[in-house]
A and B are shown apart, each in its own frame.
Chain A
Amino acid sequence: MAASTAEKVQEVREVTRIERIGAHSHIRGLGLDDALEARQTSQGMVGQQDARKAAGIILEMIKDGKIAGRAVMLAGQPGTGKTAIAMGMAQALGSDTPFTSIAGSEIFSLEMSKTEALTQSFRKSIGVRIKEETEIIEGEVVEIQIDRPATGTGAKVGKLTLKTTEMETIYDLGQKMIESLTKEKVQAGDIVTIDKATGKITKLGRSFTRARDYDAMGPQTKFVQCPEGELQKRKEVVHTVTLHEIDVINSRTQGFLALFSGDTGEIKSEVREQINSKVAEWREEGKAEIVPGVLFIDEVHMLDIECFSFLNRALESDMAPILIMATNRGITRIRGTQYLSPHGVPIDLLDRLLIVSTSPYEEKEVKQILRIRCEEEDVEMSDDALTVLTKIGMDASLRYSIQLITAAHLVCRKRKGTEVEVDDIKRVYSLFLDESRSTQFLKEYQQEFMFSEVQDQMETS
């Protein structure tokens, strides 16, 4: 009973979450128990227990606010669940925590400098929680009475009777209120709220008790219950907005429509500074709370040396979100330089990172993942077919076998089957090449393709 009261007092707006990849739609969390031990299969996660355990510890640190100025790197071969872990962390953080996911190459654009794009995604990942408090009068209109002066001109006077299930009262109306009531076409039987500060009237709908008043009614007529409790209520709403959203609003040339068109352009650093100081002021006064979110940069080796040095600096700021990066590269050239470095990331940045590595899945785990994906994609598959698919997954790649699920399902539907059989898998396996077979094919028939480099090399040598 009391809990429901609490929910009435507060509403928390959800921050829209962008899910970049459908391939990980089955991930619901990290699949850890209360002691942060990873369960073998839980919340869509399979295997990778060490990496998940590490991610869970990082998550606890994030929740305690103890990980500012550092970042996490997920390193591992392709198809070992790096993105899945990042998604799991985002899910486990809850709906209120901003989570931004970008790919390393997203920041290269003609419209925006690289650092601007990075700054924007940084600020998209920091939430500001604020509270709005309004005094409202909420009730069902019992009677509304407006007296026109006999002379025709002059101030009108009127009375408004409002009730809730518990009480009823009469308000005397002034000129302004009468005008807005007439404008809103408020009549007896309507449920209205009046904002005490602004005098704004909102019609919520018509009372259920008046549902039989007329036979013919407009299609948009909404029936609501007569409000309970007191007439004067205090309503508190908590919003979480991101710093980037506030930036966009305050960036004069853009206006708030820019948020919807998606093209925000560059935001002046003065605007950002102003907003930072305003938010800091709110924090001092206890009016706002900073919610550090998570910025996930996939394929981080695609960033160049300028971006890395920017990241180094940006992580120092006290408003920095938690940065999670993922890469599948080994020792390789840092983009924009001639130097080799592990993961293609400069050593000084690597030094700040907590590195979590993922290892290739085992056969049992691959089978489990494929089973989960079948469920997620509403595909029924026989055990034999699943075993064959697992074999393919081990030989070729996990991604390839996951892609085969839907393809095989379509083939199965074509022959009007209900369950995917081994033959369906065989058929799609012959139709679609995996990476290694494709390479092999190319090696064999290289000469017949255009611009074949192998051939050129042969000619020059």
Chain B
Amino acid sequence: MDDLLSEFLTETVESLDVVDVELVRFEKDPNNKDILGNIFRLVHTIKGTCGFLGLPRLEALAHAGETLMGKYRDGAPVTTDGVTIILKSLDAIKDILAELAENEAEPVGNDDGLIAQLHILSEGKELTDASEVAASGQSKVEAAATSVKASDGEIDDSSAIKIVERELKPGEVTLDDLEAAFLSAPGPDDIETPAADTATTEDTPPPMEASPETNEATPTANNDEINSKRDKALTPQSIRVNVDTLEQLMTMVSELVLTRNQLLEILRRQGDNEFKVPLQRLSNVTAELQEGVMKTRMQPIGNAWQKLPRIIRDLANDLDKKIDLEMIGADTELDRQVLEMIKDPLTHMVRNSADHGLESTAERIAAGKSEIGKVKLSAYHEGGHIIIEIKDDGRGLNTEKIKQKILLNKLATEEELSQMTENQIHKHIFAAGFSTADVVTSVSGRGVGMDVVRTNIEVIGGNVDLVSVTGKGSTFKIKIPLTLAIVSALIVGVNDHRYAIPQLAVVELVRAHGDSEHRIEKINNSRVLRLRNKLLPLIRLDDILELERIIVPTDGEAAAEIDDNLEENGFIVVIQVGPQTFGIVVDKVFDTEEIVVKPKSALLRTIDMFSGNTILGDGSVIMIIDPNGMANHISNEMADTQAAEEEEETKKENYAEQTTSMLMFKAGGDEPKAVPLSLVTRLEEINVKDIEPSAGRDLVQYRGQLMPLLYVEGHNEMRESGRQPVLVFSDDDRSMGLVVDEILDIIETPLNIEIMVPQPGILGSALIRGQATEIMDVGYYLPQAFDDWFERREQGDKFKQKRLLLVDDSAFFRNMLSPVLSAAGYDVITAENPIEALKLLRGQDSDFDIIVSDIEMPEMDGFMFAETINNDEALKDLPIVALSSHISPGAIERGREVGFYDYVAKFDREGLVTALKETLEVKGEAA
């Protein structure tokens, strides 16, 4: 039987069972909107699917039923006649479905009588008894009689073979038992559901001989017989099982496996005894059971693709295109839950590719392409993820159209667009309400598609990406994590710890040996291996996981020895993630095991080095290494080993140090300068010709306003011609440009301002990447651009300067924020830590109006500090505002709990000033 049809039948029969139950309730309580709504929805679904499958008779009946129910739903009074007739139409639908299940075709004939009655009722008229009887009789006779004709010719050999070949989907259960029940059940002799008895279908299609006879009898047969036939034909071919039940089953089986392993271990120690044979049998059964349960969860992705060839074929007809659908990797197994989730997005995307992606035949020929458009669907594993690619060789995405649409939907400004790469622009098609199709076809173009696709995929922790080349086609790449999936993993050991590496990411294993050709060599501190005339970057697993080495070396020599030991006798696991290949150095390699990935607990979710954890056969829990996380780490490491090492050193010096993104630039002189990236609004290049000198300073038109340009104190000057890079700082509606010579880089680095320079405009010098770098004081330049840059904020408080205590362990932030806050009209006193702050607060000169405190500080953190203040009778009314580089809802909530008035991001200068003002205002009103 056509898979589409069989699925429809299974679903519909299930729906109808629900309808039956609902109808009973409906009869008792005809005015219950919920029940009616349920029935309405089910019938509506049947109608919709019928249209798609080409079942006009069913569709017409369902449609008429739906119309009447729609009327009731809209508030028309429900009559007994109405309920009866709805019940009758549902019975008729079941009859038709029974025929369908048997003969794969709708019985010829129509249900005009029933439909007419439904219409009469929909129009609010009453029925006459006569018409009712006539109609129901007619439809029944017709249904039965016509089925004879249908069954004669409709089943052909190919469909019979299809049935035989059709594999059970996981989640479906073979119905041997049910089949047996069928055969022993009383009723018309030889009717067999085609899928149930494969042996007979192979020989000759049995319904041909069997059903005419029985069906001929049907018109005169009593109702019971009709019912039994209906029930039998519609018995579902699979049983739906709650996933939770499967999950629980899985857990139990794992437990069983563990117990079995323990028993086997005992047996091994005790040698031969009478338990041996039964234990072995237990062992085998357990293994089979485990496999079986596993199977119930896994489905080949091909199951989600089954409908696609048909859809594409119909589409090709509708759109008059020639489309070739190629499917690769249909046997890639996926967890059924994941599969369910990606089924619809996939269908949608394939449709999109065929509809929007591929050009019409004429266009293709004009473009010199083969007239047959190709849509290629492939699935494979990569680095512990499942990748599904949908590729077409069509026209590619229309960048200009997307741009227009972006502007139309106000998703970005023109300026932002001009900074985007083509790929970034393309990604906007995943935004809500985005469709570039000129004409909304029945197929696609309603603009609900791609964002739903993205959401669905993200729900299961995956992501979707696209690459599109104009004229060549587009490729969508869906990446689904292996959580929930079963993978084969390589178990490796380092320092007595074991970890699992997904086998899919492992390319090969190399034994490192000091004397052999596979020798670990070092370039500076980066380890590499010569592997087939290529250098393979290496990383030690214990390093990347920051494990303590077992023996703590006492001096340099011993350290080298231990290093050598691992590096001379270790193993190198060669990993490939996407285009990147690298090696992980481990102590031991155990074996491979099939593991079920379980998600990490919320407390561990932030560690991107692990993708999950699992329980091994021996019952212990091990962490599963995420090759992607490791690749990210290693590429950072490779990119700048030196920076990493410095970071390491600074880390040792000050464990709690946070890193800051710094923008490095040159402005006058060769030494680099830096400014925290988050203070910079944007980087611009302005044309020197556009600069207009006015009243002693340079101005430039920027976003419809005049923006003053400033120069780094006493150093650089404007170029003669060409384009000049400018850092733009914005505040509300004002912008200021700082002219620089060259923008160098953006660096994530811990910031320690070491040398304070008594020089305006410079906070001090810091060592960044081993080079002395001047850190700019933006607070110095802002008032130069607009004299009232800060003042305008605190007009109300002009005459009463508030005293502010700033607590931050980082000298950099103290130095950066003090001038900003001073400029905003506060008398700023700083403290290095909460303890010092408390001393100040409890000391003589303690008349503070507000406290601004960092959260991450050694010894006593901001939360504790706030709590202490809150618990102090003398201080508890003092408002305190938190300042943190980590803003999470949890942190904010906690901040409120311990008594912070507000929570501001560290670099949100404007936010801080506003928060302070608001806090003081609220405080003032309260007082």
* A and B physically associate: no
